[in-house]
Structure 1
C-alpha cells in the first residue's frame, strides 16, 4: 500500500512529465535529489513491510480460530452427550426396576406353579386311586349281580296272551317243544320284562337252582329249531353283554360267549379260550 508521501512523489514526477523539456540542473543538485528520493522510497517500503501480515501469523490466527470453534463444539458435544447419558441412565434405571419387578413376579409365579403342579399330582394320584377303587367296586358289583342271575333264563319269541299265567305257559312250552319236565316248585319266578316295541316281551324265568337251569338249557338248540324266533338265553348283566359285543367286534377275537357266570373269548392267533373281565385290555390279554 502506498503512503501519502509516495503518492505525492509519483504524482509530482508524472505532472512534471507533462510540461515541456526540463531545464537542465547542476550535477550536485541532481545527486542530492536522487539520494533524497531513495531515502524516501526506502522509508515507504519499510512502512509497507511493517504493515504486511506474515504468513506464520495467519496460520496462528486461523489455528486459534479453529481451535476456539472446536472447543465450543466440543463443549456443546460434551453437554449433549452428558444429557443423553443422563437420559439413558434414567431409562436404564427405569427398565432395571421393571426387570426386577418382573423377576420377583416370575419367582412368585414359579412358586405358585410348583405348588399347583404338586396339587395336580396329588389330585391325579387321588383320582387314579379313586378310579381304581371304583373299577374294583364295579367289577365286584357286576360279579355279584351276575351271580344273582346264575339261575335265570330269558325266553325270547314266546307269544304273549292277555291275562296269561306265565309260569304255567312256560311249563307247557318246555314240555311241548323241548320235552322238558319242569315242576311248579322248581320255578322261583316267571314274568314278562320290557322288550323291543312291536314284539312279544321276553320272559324272565328264575328256577330253583343251577341244576334245573342246566336241564333246561341243554335243550336250547331244540327250542330254537322248533318255533321261529323262539330261543333260550342266559340272563347276562348289561356290563357283561357290552363286553361280549366288544370282544366279537375286536379283530383279535374269533368269538365270545357267556358261561357259568363268566365271559370268554377265543383268540384268533393263539386259538386259546380266554376269560375276560369288563376292564381288561383286550389286545394285550389276547396276545
Structure 2
C-alpha cells in the first residue's frame, strides 16, 4: 500500500472529529416523529434530509501526489461541510424539543384529564344515583312505615271504638232480646189463656145460644100466602095432619126469616112455651102427610150447623145429628161420639 501523506491524514482526523461532534449534537430522529401535529410551525416546515454525505474512497498516494487529487479532497470536504450545515439547519434545537414535549404532555394531560373527568363523572353519577336511590328508598320506606304505623294505630283505635260500640249495642240488644223473650213468653202464655178463655166463652155463648133455641122448631117449604096467620095455620095443620091439638097460646112466637140467597118460601121459626110441646110436635116430622105442608127441623145455631156439615163431609164419619142441644156422630166402627164446636175429629176418632 502506498503511504498516506501528512496532509491527507490531518484532513481525515478533522473530518472524523466533526462527524463525531455532529453525531453527538444530532437529536434522535424519533423525537421529531413523536407528534408533528403539536410541533411548532418552524419544525413542521423543516425538511430533514435523509441523505448521508458520501464518503470518498481514500485515494492512493499516487492520486494525492498530483495537484488534481488535492483538489478532489477539498471539494469533498466542502460537500461534507454543506451537508453538515443542512443537517444542522434541519436539527431541532433544545427549546423546540422542550416546546414539543410540553405540548405533547399538555395534550396527553388534557386527554387523560378528560378521560379521568369523564370516568370520575360517570362514577360520581353512578355513586350519586345509587346513593340517592338508596337514600330515597330508605326515606320512602321510613315514611311509609311511619304512615303505616300511624294508620294502623288509627285503624286499631277506630276498630276498638267500633268494637266497643258494637259490644255495647250487642249487650243492649241482648238485654232487650231477653226482655222481649220474657215478654213474648208472657204474651204467649196470655194468648194461650186468652185462647182457652175465648174458646170457653165461644162454647158457652154457643151453648147459651142453642139453649135459648131449644124450644124452637124451624119449618122449611111452608108456602107463603097473603095475610097469613102462621100461629093459627100451624095449629090447624097439626090438628088435621097428625091429630095434635095445639093451643095457640102454646106458641110464644112465630115468624118468617129473611130468605137470603135461597129461593122458594121463606123459613118459619116457631118458639113454643115448653120443650115438651116442642118435642111432641117435632116427633111427627117424619109423617108423610105432614111433609106435604112443610118440613120440621131443630132450630140449631150457625156454628152447630157448620159442625154437623163438616162431620158429614169427613170420610171417617158415617152420620152426624143434633139432639137435645148436643151434636153426635157415628164413626165407621159404629162408635158414637159427642162433639162440640171446638172439637177435632182426629182427637175423637183414632183411625
**Residues 1:278 and 2:338 are matched in the alignment:** no
Which of the numbers 269, 282, 285 marks the counterpart of 1:217?
Answer: 282
Distance change >3 Å, CA 134–CA 170, structure 1 → 2: same
Q: Is residue 39–residue 103 contact of structure 2 (8 Å, CA) maintained in 1?
A: no
Structure 1 residue 230 displacement after superposition: 0.3
In the aligned structure 1, how far is the partner of 2:97 from the partner of 2:304?
150
Which of the numbers 155, 168, 193 marks the counterpart of 2:219?
Answer: 155
Q: Is residue 259–residue 267 contact of structure 2 (8 Å, CA) maintained in 1?
A: yes
Gaps of 5+ in 2: 1-34, 52-81
Structure 1 residue 149 displacement after superposition: 3.4
Q: Is residue 328–residue 336 contact of structure 2 (8 Å, CA) maintained in 1?
A: yes
Structure 1 residue 204 displacement after superposition: 1.1
**Residues 1:192 and 2:252 are matched in the alignment:** no
Structure 1 residue 18 displacement after superposition: 8.1
For residues 59-93 of structure 1, give each alpha carbon's deviation from its aligned partner in whole angstroms, at most 9, with x where no partner exists: 85355323322244225413641345535544554
Matches within 5 A, 1:11-26: 12-17=42-47, 23-24=83-84
In the aligned structure 2, how far is the partner of 1:195 from the partner of 1:79?
98
Normalising to structure 2: TM-score of the pair? 0.61
Normalising to structure 1: TM-score of the pair? 0.72
Matches within 5 A, 1:165-244: 166=231, 168-182=232-246, 187=250, 189-196=252-259, 199-210=265-276, 212-222=277-287, 225-228=289-292, 230-244=294-308
Say what the alpha-carbon RMSD is for the aligned residues: 4.4
Distance change >3 Å, CA 177–CA 93, structure 1 → 2: same
Q: Is residue 49–residue 87 contact of structure 2 (8 Å, CA) maintained in 1?
A: no
Q: Is residue 49–residue 86 contact of structure 2 (8 Å, CA) maintained in 1?
A: no
Structure 1 residue 205 displacement after superposition: 3.3
Q: Which has the larger radius of gyration?
A: 2
> How many residues are treated as equivalent by the alignment?
277
Distance change >3 Å, CA 165–CA 239, structure 1 → 2: closer
Gaps of 5+ in 1: none
For residues 126-179 of structure 1, give each alpha carbon's deviation from its aligned partner in whole angstroms, at most 9, with x where no partner exists: 01111111111221332243334334323334455637371x433321121122
Structure 1 residue 237 displacement after superposition: 2.0
